[in-house]
Amino acid sequence: MALRHAVLAALIEGEFSGYQLAKAFDVGVANFWYAQPQQLYAELARLEKEGLVAGREVAQEGRPNKRLFRVTDAGLAELEAFTAASAKPAVIRDDLLVKVQAADRVDTAALVAQLTERAGMAQAKIALFGALLRRLRGDRTEEEFLRHGDRIGPYLTCLRGVAFEQENRDWCTRTIAVLEERRQARARH
Amino acid sequence: MALRHAVLAALIEGEFSGYQLAKAFDVGVANFWYAQPQQLYAELARLEKEGLVAGREVAQEGRPNKRLFRVTDAGLAELEAFTAASAKPAVIRDDLLVKVQAADRVDTAALVAQLTERAGMAQAKIALFGALLRRLRGDRTEEEFLRHGDRIGPYLTCLRGVAFEQENRDWCTRTIAVLEERRQARARH
DNA sequence: CTTGCATAGTCATGAATGTGAGTAGTCATT
DNA sequence: AATGACTACTCACATTCATGACTATGCAAG
């Protein structure tokens, strides 16, 4: 049950609609969790029923009405309790790692293609996160911002996202190089 | 459906029983996937029914009999197909990130405790993976091994595991430092 | 002499997550 | 005038993952 806490954590930034959250949790800036829109709507409904978030209808013209949610005091207390509880260790779970684990017995060309694609995606995310970090800290340096800024939570998680994707990219390019070199070595015989 | 492929990938290393796989997929060397014993037994049963792995009973004395599994040709073909298919992007999903995202509104002390614990766990994993890497490459250098060794798949995934845990540890210590400094700065006022 | 741990598994159940499809209006493009 | 894209959300179902409890046997430490 960590999705509910991820939603609560996202909502301490301000009021958001399910649709806005869905954007944030999807492809874009899912730097600390990922979820499908359907999950979010369902979770928001549950959270509201339990009084951890409060929603209010906002009429719009030219587009459908929306419901904005904010965290209640009970929601904050729930987050507090969640933070105090010990976190389960995070594990990597990546299709690509499974494929590389099997690298010695499967077609290398297909694998290299996958790795190349992934390296590109990682690079794109690095750029995205970099822009987000600059936006968050404004004209301050990182040190300055982390010392005196308010709302450093999103910044810190984003830093982790950047580091993860850099690692991702570097490992992909390294692995590609290794696989390519071995392929050429085999071809020479 | 990536667990099945993770099992297949693990089995190209040789014959293993469900129990042995469970050990490898659990706390120890889950450097490319993680699963509970029950999942593995269930998956192995399914894979055998579909002919992707073949099991054979091995009688033992002093301990229960076991069933060793190996990948069949059909299993290798399945792995091949899996490798060719495009991998879904890996996302971080970590309770700890959710907690840090909420850092601006929850108790910092509890959070720092969590981060400290996690940093320690990461450090332990780094040591574990380091030992595994040395065992895998024997007396060769890494370059040498990656160029000419056979079965480099596990080595490459383990490299990724090490890098991930180092990143993990560094980010934890950095985040701890930031939170602590802010706490002290607040205390001075 | 019994408590606890390791081997080697099975069964059942619930929670979390993913996927596909559908509704309904607005706006811009072709 | 139709097609597709964006906002905003809902329903239903399937798959995957996690959890606890349980059965056996053998071995070693206290």
pLDDT digits (tens, 9 = 90+) for A89-133: 777 888 999 999 999 999 999 999 999 999 998 998 899 899 999
Mean pLDDT of A74-94: 88
Q: Are residues A132 and A79 in the same domain?
A: no
| pLDDT tops 60 at residue A28 | no
Q: What is the pLDDT of chain B when averaged over all its residues? A: 91
| pLDDT tops 90 at residue A63 | no
* Closest alpha carbon to C1' of C9, residue: B19
Total domains, chain B: 2
For residue A47, tell me if it sits in a domain. Answer: yes
| pLDDT tops 80 at residue B31 | no
Q: Are residues A118 and A54 in the same domain?
A: no
**Cα dist from B126 to A17, A120, B26, B169, whole Å:** 41, 27, 16, 9
Last residue of a domain, one of A55, A84, A113: A84
Confidence at residue A61, expressed as pLDDT on a 0 to 100 scale: 80
Q: A10: pLDDT confidence band, cut at 50, 70 and 90?
A: very high
Mean pLDDT of A41-54: 94
| pLDDT tops 80 at residue A31 | no
* Start-end of H helices in B12-152: 18-25, 37-49, 73-84, 95-101, 108-137, 142-148
Interhelix angle B18-25/B3-11, rounded to 10 degrees, is 110
Closest residue of B to A86, CA-based?
A: B114
| pLDDT tops 90 at residue B92 | no
Confidence at residue B96, expressed as pLDDT on a 0 to 100 scale: 93
Q: What is the pLDDT of chain A when averaged over all its residues? A: 91
Q: Are residues B64 and B146 in the same domain?
A: no
Q: What is the signed CA dihedral for B181, B182, B183, B188, rounded to 10 degrees? A: 90
Q: Are residues B23 and B102 in the same domain?
A: no
Q: Are residues A99 and A79 in the same domain?
A: no
**Cα dist from A123 to A134, A173, B44, B85, B88, whole Å:** 17, 11, 37, 21, 16
Q: Are residues B178 and B129 in the same domain?
A: yes
For residue B65, tell me if it sits in a domain. Answer: yes
Q: Are residues A146 and A175 in the same domain?
A: yes
Q: Are residues B117 and B163 in the same domain?
A: yes
**Cα dist from B75 to A88, B41, B81, B164, B169, whole Å:** 33, 17, 10, 30, 37
Residues 39-68 of A with CB under 8 A from B: none
Mean pLDDT of B57-74: 90
For residue B31, tell me if it sits in a domain. Answer: yes
Query: E strands, A37-163, where?
Result: 53-58, 66-71
Question: A104, B151: Cβ pair inside 8 Å?
Answer: yes
Q: Are residues A59 and A136 in the same domain?
A: no
Reference B36, options B71, B7, B15; nearest CA is B7
A-to-B residue pairs, Cβ atoms closer than 8 angstroms: 225
For residue B107, tell me if it sits in a domain. Answer: yes
Q: B30: pLDDT confidence band, cut at 50, 70 and 90?
A: low
Question: B104, A160: Cβ pair inside 8 Å?
Answer: no
For residue B35, tell me if it sits in a domain. Answer: yes
Q: Which chain B residues are closer than 8 Å to A174 by Cβ?
A: 159
B76: domain CATH number?
A: 1.10.10.10
Confidence at residue A140, expressed as pLDDT on a 0 to 100 scale: 98
Q: A117 with A17: CB under 8 angstroms? A: no
Q: Which chain B residues are closer than 8 Å to A103 by Cβ?
A: 152-153, 156
For residue B90, tell me if it sits in a domain. Answer: no
For residue A105, tell me if it sits in a domain. Answer: yes
Residue type, B170: D
Q: Are residues B42 and B124 in the same domain?
A: no
The distance (Å) linking the CA of B63 with the C1' of D28 is 15
Mean pLDDT of B118-146: 93
**Cα dist from A108 to A24, A62, A80, A113, B32, whole Å:** 35, 52, 48, 9, 18
Cα(A108)–Cα(A182) distance, integer angstroms: 10
Last residue of a domain, one of B24, B51, B84: B84
Q: B151 with B21: CB under 8 angstroms? A: no
Q: Which chain A residues are closer than 8 Å to B105 by Cβ?
A: 12, 76, 79, 153
Mean pLDDT check: name the lowest of A26-30, B97-101, B158-162.
A26-30
Q: Are residues A104 and A37 in the same domain?
A: no
Confidence at residue B189, expressed as pLDDT on a 0 to 100 scale: 76
| pLDDT tops 80 at residue A189 | no
Last residue of a domain, one of B84, B106, B126: B84
Report yes or no: B73 at the A interface, CB cutoff 8 Å: no
Structural domain containing residue A10: 3-84
Cα(B123)–Cα(B177) distance, integer angstroms: 17
Question: A9, B94: Cβ pair inside 8 Å?
Answer: no
Confidence at residue A27, expressed as pLDDT on a 0 to 100 scale: 58
Confidence at residue B26, expressed as pLDDT on a 0 to 100 scale: 74
- B67: closest CA of chain A, how far (Å): 22
For residue A90, tell me if it sits in a domain. Answer: no
Q: Are residues B99 and B183 in the same domain?
A: yes
